[in-house]
Every structure is written in C-alpha cells, then in structure tokens.
Amino acid sequence: MMRIALLGTGAMGTLFGVRLAPIAEVWMLGTWAEALQAARRHGLRLTTPQGEETAPVAVAADPMEVPPCDLALILVKAYQTERAARWAEQVLRPDGVALTLQNGLGPYEILRERLSAARAFQGVTTMGATLMAPGHARLGGEGPIWLGPASSNRRQIQKIVDLLERAGFQVEVQEDLQGVIWGKLVANTAINPITALFDVPNGALLARPDLWRLARGVARETAEVARAQGIPLPFEDPEGFVAEVCRRTSENSSSMRQDFRRGRPTEIDALNGAVAAIGRRMGVPTPLNEALWRWVKAVEERRGMAMRPAELERGPSPALAQQMDRRSLKGHGG
C-alpha cells in the first residue's frame, strides 16, 4: 500500500485525506494543532450532497515523526510552500515524489528547486471545499485534476494517476499545463479577493451588478496577461468562464473568504499580486488586479498579518514575481 504525506490541514487537505485514506496509508502533516487533534480523535470528515464521509488518518506535527513516504501531496497555502517543500524532502523516500495542487503562481517552482524536476509534479484542480471545523470540510464542487507534463517522468505520473483515479478523482494528463493554470487563475483572481473583501459566497458576484462589473474587469485583465505571454487559455470568453464557475460554485465560500473569516493571511501575492507584477513587466495594464492586491494587503496589514506598509510600495511579492517572469517567459509547462 502506498504511503502518502498530506501536507495541508485545511479544507482541501481534509477532502483529499478522506478520499485517499481507504486506498493508502495517509499521514496528515501540519502545524494546525486543532485540525491534527480532531483527525487523531475522530478521523477526517467530509460532507457531500450524498451524506458524510469519514476516514482515519495518521497525524504528525513534525516531519521526523512520519515514516518514509512514496508521495507528498502539497495542499498548503502558497505562502507556506517553502516549509512544505522542506518537509516533503524530509519525509519522502529517495525515489518518492511530490505533487502540488496549490492555487496561484510560484509554488511549483519552489517545490521543483527543492526536489528537482524529476521528483516534483504540478497539478491543477477545480474542486472546491469549505472548512466547517477543524478536520471537517464540505465539498464545494467536483471537478477534474489535470497533471503534467506527460513527458517528464511517465512512470511516476502514471502511478499518481492510478492512485487518484482509484480514490474516485477524474484525472487528465497534459503535456503543457500553462493554459489550465492561467485559466484557473482567471477565475481565482476574479472571484477570490472580491468574495473575501465583500464577505459573500461565489454566486453573489452574479447577483450584484457592482461586484460583477469588477469581477469581469479582473477576468479580462488576467486573460490579457496570459495572452501577452503566448499562453492559450482553455476558453474564448474569460467573463463567461468566470460566470460559469460562479454558477457552479454559487454556495461555495472561496478560500480567500475563508482565510479572512479565520483571520489568516491570504494567497493574494500568488494570485492578483503575481498577475499585476508580470503585467507590469510585460507592459500589460492591470489596474484592477493591482487595486485588489493592495486592498487585500491593507486589510491584512490592519490585522497584523501582512508585510509592512513600506514593503507595500515595492510591489507585489518581488521574489515570486521574479520567479514567475523566468517561468512564464520560458513557457515552461510544469
């Protein structure tokens, strides 16, 4: 039986833990004590339209407690990737691999630099989950998982595909993930910060003309930054795509809204911040992405969770933006 280190104790970590536990030995590794305690006492819980699924998992707050693993599944927030990559390196077998399904731009590059391209894989999913309590999530919507590139390490890719399909996930392997990554980024940059700042579920963006105008504008900007890099998006109409995501996940609470409600830092740097930074360097105007980035950072600053005001003036996530420039301009697909 495959042994998996699940790095991420939030909603997505709970979702994947529940689905993977019946077919693998799952170790949930993280720093959120309440989630680890809940998983240890009662197992993980996932509420779906069909009912409630539960699964026992092993838990650890220290990578030294985890036996050697075949796969590290990275589901932490983008700003936590450095630590997750170090922990993945510690818990993996010499031939073990890591897969990131995180939001935004940058996490894969961090993982690849730590583990090498042969052992680090990137994926994208449109699945969503809302955290109900520590160790308990509600499924926010099913969706495929895209993995790639197919040519990097076919044997390891196929092992991951087989595992995820046995767990009930729909999986597709692609040679170039850039279009899928930026397609999801169009939706995330348009939906996440607005639903967080106005404290509304995803579907409310379609019900409120003022919020929808803003979301539409952000979607167009992000799509233009992708096109300027020669990245083909998986849709013709970015506004229509975002509208469809809002309809399909109308009752869902975006991950950034959940972060706001829990008083935690957000992934704004890897979303709107990264898009604004790349747009600036490529000469593509992104005033709405920039404004939302600054607005969210201001809220975080007020709550004592973000960079200092002087750092704000230097622009969105400088190190991350530099990484993404190198990646995007090379057209690297993951």
Locate 33 and state its tokens. 């004590």
Higher-pLDDT residue of 152 and 87 is 87
| Domains identified in the chain and CATH numbers | 3-173 (3.40.50.720), 178-330 (1.10.1040.10)
Average pLDDT score over residue span 46-67: 96
pLDDT for the residue numbered 71: 98
- In the three-class reduction of DSSP (H, G, I as helix; E, B as strand; rest coil), residue 120 is classed as strand
Neighbours of 83 (CB within 10 A): 14
Q: Is 179's pLDDT higher than 70?
A: yes
Place of tokens 């933006």: 321
303 confidence band (pLDDT: 50, 70, 90): confident
Residue-by-residue DSSP string for 6-66: EE--SHHHHHHHHHHTTTSEEEEE-S-HHHHHHHHHH-EEEEETTEEEEE--EEESSGGGS
pTM of the model: 0.87
Q: Is 40's pLDDT higher than 50?
A: yes
pLDDT for the residue numbered 142: 81
Question: If you average pLDDT over every residue of the chain, what do you get?
Answer: 90
Average pLDDT score over residue span 32-37: 96
Q: Is 215's pLDDT higher than 60?
A: yes
Q: Is 143's pLDDT higher than 90?
A: no
pLDDT for the residue numbered 163: 97
H or E stretch at 305:
none
Locate 217 and state its tokens. 């504008």
Average pLDDT score over residue span 268-278: 97
Locate 318 and state its tokens. 């400088």
